[in-house]
Structure 1
Amino acid sequence: MINKSKPQRYISFGKKLFVSYMALLIIPIFVIGYYSYTSSIKSFKEKTRSTIHGTLSQIRDNIDYKMDAIKNISDDLYFDQTMQDILSTYEEDYFSYDNMSHYLSPKLTNIVNSAISDIWVNLYIDNSNVPEIFFNRGNEINPLSAGKDFEIMHKERLEAQEWYRNFNYPDEVYGQTLVWSQVDKDTDFGNVSLLRRLINFNNSNKEIGFIRIITRISDLFKSVDYKKITETSSLVILNENGKKIYYSSPEGEFNVQNSHSDDYLIIEEELSGLNWKLLAYIPQSFFQENADKVRNVIFIVCIINLLILIMVGALFSRYFTRRVTKIIMTANYFREGDFYKRIHFKSRDEFSEIGDAFNDMGKNIEALIQNLYVSNLQKKEAELESLQAQINPHFLYNTLSSISQLAKFGELQKLQKTVLGLAKFYRLSLNEGRIFTTVDKEIEHAKTYVGLQKVKYEDHLQVLYDIDPQVLQYKTIKLILQPFIENALQHAWFGDQINIRITVQLVDENIVFRIIDDGVGISREILEQILDLNGVQIGYGIRNVDMRVKLQFGEEYGVALFSRRGIGTSVSISIPISRD
């Protein structure tokens, strides 16, 4: 193994003088660059703050426009003298129904249909003679889920609601008093309501009803879009209690409590009529990105100047030191294990002599490494072929013994089937002299062996196969399944019946063969002896396969055993996937 030690770093005397000279140039450039950098950042922050203030003002004006549109709807009801007269007159049922069908209902229909967004108008009236129009939908359904509509209900329904009883409504000022608030289920549904009394001006400003216009917060604040500020900013609307009721953020959920002024530039705008605040959170990283751009420009300008000076000095230094540098570089390549690097000098002098010596040394070391590699490879292949050859004679001895018994007892049909199976078995075993075969042929080889044993054991032997079709064309070394099947038939019988299951699966870029039997199992002591390479030499077939796999693929692959007495044995053989 080549020891790739890290080369020692040093600074030559000429470079030290050069660095001292460059320091005198760098200091004034750094001072000027730093001053330019800080001035640019300060100017950028001031300009950004001014721009964002203007954008927030536009967003606020858009919100005011939508609020005014809903307020105008309430004004249409508030200042309607005809509606005041109808609601203040206690007529018989027919006249009340006629007023409802010919005036109130058409008016409210026109109002909701003319709205620029979905609204729901609830008109609560004191006059119990006027018939009601409402939907029996329950409190758990958002009224705006059905779109635009209205309801007319008697005021006692409103007075029965807890939010109205607890609501602190301000004193009435003609034409001005109204309240925007989230009441009842508005918070749950993402709505906000405009609340306003309905007054009869001709009767000492007597309250004759109550108006509630519901609209979606998302419709009211549709213009609140963080992209209008920056791609990384967040816009948040807080109510009078400082609670977040709406936000627009690239991060999805935005946590106001965790957003400190150290991390964000915070700009605030008041929303008139709501006593709410519109806040913009611009992350300091936004300014940092622009600061980085300015810094990079200044840095590039400084670097260009320095590079010009460095190039002038480097030309002289390179002229005298390039040959020494080439030799040092080649020596470092050799130290890192790259012996293919060569040195070539045009002139014939001491440097060319050193170069020739380096080249000869590289060729010699390269030849030694190649010879050692080939030698180890040949040794490994010889060991693998030796282990491979040890399996076939063992099986051949057992099979010829079975053929002898069949001939002795005159079972010619079984004899013929056994001989044909043996021929196929050895054709697959020989594999034209190749150590490697495909998983498909290895399974066919195992099935041939099982067929030979079925002649002997008949229905007392049952073998099931579970093969993943994906693994069939991958490469494996031959004769890794048959030894374990043979081992089970020799040692695992528990009664007059044995069942064997053979699976081949693709597991984490590895191919895993499993041979599972329900035989007598292996005791813990025997299992430990099999797995102990330095112990008693038992489990020959198991060790043979394990050694062949490790020789070919490495120590991380091979055979694993699990067994319990009276339960059975499970053998796992893992190899890497390969098509070559």
Structure 2
Amino acid sequence: MINLIKKKFNDIKFRNKLLLSHLLIALIPIILLGLLSFFQSYKIQMKELKSEAESSINQASNILDYKINRYNMLCEFMVLDRDFSGVFIKDYENKYFNMYLDFRDIMDPMVSQIKFMDDDIEEITFYTSGDLLGIRGNILPLSELKNKPWYDGFRGRHWVVYDEKVYLVQELISNLKDSNFMVISINYESLFSETAKLSDYIFVNIINQKENIIYSENRLGFNESLTQDEFSEYPIKIERKLDNIGWTINYFISNSNAYVNAMTIFKITLFVIFLSLIITFFLIYVFSNNFTRRIIRLKDKVDKVEQNNLDIMIQSTSKDEFGELTNGIGRMLERINSLILQVYQAEISKKESEYNKLISQINPHFLYNTLSFINWRALNKKDIETSYMVTTLGKFYRTTLNKGKNKVTIETEIEHIKAYLDLQYVMSEGRFEVDYSIDNHILKHYIIHFILQPIVENAIKHGFVGPDSQDNHIIISAHMVNDEIKIMVSDNGVGMSIQQQTQLLSTDHGGCGVKNVNDRIKLYYGNNYGLEIESQVNVGTKVVITLPFF
């Protein structure tokens, strides 16, 4: 069954394949998004609500912790003040003037300062069993504190929230007969103000150490606690415990808003999907026609190539993959034509090479015999100079021809160039000098033949051309440098401009086959080797040949 479907699909035209495949791909999102969009939207909404609630509860808990710690520090500030605490334990023995001075200079400034520092402090009341009763309206008997409904006999410092009022109770320093307490009344709404700035879909309460609700706030009308049905509307709970007090802030997050938003997104998604399907069908139809038209055009050209029409032009201006494929086929066709031409030219060169090899096997014998006869005649006539030139010329051609081999040792190449320079020296009547600096360790190393003479010839022919040219000097050196052989030919001739240096290596007319030498080296050893030219006008020229040592 599957094979039959594949066969039917493969037999469909390419344009129809595009239409069918794209329509199937477009229908899949409708089915999947219809099933998943609602749940995904609901999940995202709940996640955002939870993230918002976590950020809000962290901020609220930090601020409330800060406020609690701030009031605790105010208490410590007052309690640890020896003069202030001493007022409550001092034995005045009816010395009311001294008592008046302590209130004026110590107690009243301290209380005023504390209330001035915080506007949310509504009252500071002191409860004592000592001598201070009746001195101020905010100094009451200890029995009144014990009669408070929220007092349970605690000692030290204690926070009390009762009937939407907040009290910070602090035990003061006492003596054996007196007990003293300070009660700071703090504004209830101000203390819990940060928990009131919430979303309409968050219910919040704060519980104390005994898990009693001390604060409850929301925008939907819940006051004390949530019923079982109400808990179903608030499925997510987040809690944070305060660091400086045993209170816990609880956030309950409603899912009703997430449900409404998810339904809205679901409806919009369905509309967009169906609209996109219509637009997609139209665009697929247009694009498929464009694609198939380009494929048919390329197929027609390839058919012509198959019929041996290799001169056809295959090219595209498009930058997409299809354009790259078209241009790639075009470049491949150009490469095929180029290879055909290279094979043809290589065949011609092969024939010429075979002819030249045949000639080279005939000409040297005739040349050597002729030079030997001329040398014999010169010796008979005692013409030493002519005999020297003929002998040197024979040596020069013997190293030049090299028995038809294309590789020689560096020693043979140096002997060849020495013979050439000896001839040039005699013919130019000694108008130049030559120095050699050759590393003996590389003399037996083989290199390709005939690479020095074109460079030396170029130095003599083009470097020493001035009418008043004197003290002409050529230096030839060969050394080993970093696993490479560096052969250098330098002269103190007229030099070259940058344009002339470029032309020397780029055209065959630059000077006595220098470009040919560079091309041969790169062809034989690779592009990392060849010639480098350094030259300055009226200063001289240096040519460095770089060869591998292997």
TM norm. shorter chain > 0.5:
no
TM-score of the pair, normalised by structure 1: 0.39
TM-score of the pair, normalised by structure 2: 0.41
